[in-house]
Structure 1
C-alpha cells in the first residue's frame, strides 16, 4: 500500500499520496494534476540545458502507484503535455510504451492551459479528452481552481508548495495538498515543475509531502 494520509472531503474518503497524487477508493480512481510530460524536451527544443529522463521518472512513479493500488481509471487534472515541444519522438515513444503495458486502464484528461498550447495527446494513446469541469459524485474535477456551484472542486494548476520555517533563516519549501471548504488543490505530479508558495485560507487544511510521508501542518 502506498504511503498516504486519509481525509474525508464532501463525504468521500480520499487518500493524499506521498507520490503527489490523490486516490479515490470508492471509484478506484487515481487523480493526477500537472504531469507536464515532455517539459524537459520542450525546453531542450528551445536550446535550454535541462536534465533528461523526467518523463521516464514520472512514468515509473505512476507505475509504482498502479502496482500498489486497485485502480481502474486515471484522471489527469490538466497539463498532461507541457507544450508543442513535448511532442518530441522520445517523449511520445515513452508514453506509447507505457500505454501498451496499461492498455485496459481508462485514461481521462481534463484540458488545462498547457494542453491548449500543446494540443491533445496523440490518438493512439487512447486518452479521453474533456473540458472542465468533469462532474463525478460530489466533485467537480478541474484544472483551474475556480469554485463550481453544488460541487467540491478538486484542481491543479497552482503547483502548491508550503514553506516550513525553522530557526533563524532556515526554511524548507515542500509540495503540498490544500483541502479547502469549496476548492482543494493537488500538488504538481511532474518531477520538473516547480511550485508556488501561496497564502492559504485559515480554514484550509494543508498537508505537506516530505521524507516520503504526508504531514498535516494546519
Structure 2
C-alpha cells in the first residue's frame, strides 16, 4: 500500500498539504489536487524530431491522474505549468488521449497555471475545458505558480525545477524525485513520466521529502544539507 507524507505550511495558516507517492500533492481542505510539469506529449516530440523513444508516457501519466481524482474525489485539479512539452505535442494521438481523460472527469474543474514550456507549446485546445491563467493562481492562503519565486503575502507552491535528491549508502547511490519545501516556497517533483530531474541545494531549514517504492519519506537534516 502506498504511503504519503503530510507537510504543514505554517506560514499559510497551518495549511495541511499531503505529499503523494504519485508525485502529486493534495490540499484536502480545498479538495484540490496539484501536479507540476506533466510535459504531456514529450515522447511524441522526440519521435517527431527523429529520436526513437517508447510510446505511452502520456497515457501512463493520465491513468495515474485518473486514479488520484477518483480515489480522492477531487473537485479541482491544478497543473503548475508545462502542460504540454512543445508544439509537436499537439499530435492527434496525444490530443485524443487527453480528450478521453477530460471526458472521464468532466465534473472536476481543471486549471493550468502557464509555465515556460506553455509559452512555446501553446495552450491546450479549448475543447479540453481547462481554464488557463497566468501565475500566481491564488487558492486560499496559497499562491500556485510554475516558477518558484516568492510572493509577499502567500506561501508559494510551484514546479519548474524537477527536484531530486541523491542518496548514497554502502557504495551505491540513487537519485529520487522529491518535494522541496522551503520557508516561503515549496517545489513539487515533475509529474510527467518522461522528464529529467535536477538535484536540489537545500538549506538546513528546508524540508526534503523523497519519493520511492510507493512511499514518501522525510529526510533527516543531515541528509537534507547533503542533497545535491
Instruction: Give TM-score scaled by structure 1 length.
Output: 0.97
Give the Cα separation in 1 of the matches to 2:212 and 2:178: 9
Contiguous gaps of at least 5 residues in structure 1: none
Matched, 1:33 2:36: yes
The CA deviation at 1:137 is 1.7
SS at match of 2:66: helix
SS at match of 1:208: strand
Q: Give every structure 1 segment of 4 or more consecutive aligned residues whose post-TM-superposition deviation is greater than 3 Å.
A: none
Contiguous gaps of at least 5 residues in structure 2: 221-228
Give the Cα separation in 2 of the matches to 1:108 and 1:2: 27
CA contact (8 A) 1:75 1:107 kept: yes
Match of 2:160 among 147, 157, 162: 157
CA contact (8 A) 1:2 1:65 kept: no
- Measured on the aligned residues, the alpha-carbon RMSD in Å equals 1.1
Instruction: Give TM-score scaled by structure 2 length.
Output: 0.93
Count of residue pairs the alignment pairs up: 217
Counterpart for residue 3 of structure 1? 3
CA contact (8 A) 1:2 1:69 kept: no
Q: Deviations over 1:73-105 (max 9, x none)?
A: 000000000000100100000000111111111
Give the Cα separation in 1 of the matches to 2:136 and 2:2: 28
SS at match of 2:83: coil
Give the Cα separation in 2 of the matches to 1:135 and 1:203: 25
